Amino acid sequence: MVAISRYVSLGSIVGITTGLLVCIVLIAFGQIPLGFLPWAVVCGGLVVIVHHDNIQRLLSGTERKFGQHA
User: For the segment 28-37, what is each residue's pLDDT rounded down to a tens digit?
Assistant: 999 999 999 9
**Measured CA angle at 25 (ends 21, 30), to 5 deg:** 145
2-12 tens-digit pLDDT: 999 999 999 99
Cα(40)–Cα(38) distance, integer angstroms: 5
- Domain residue extents for the chain: 2-60
This prediction's pTM? 0.80
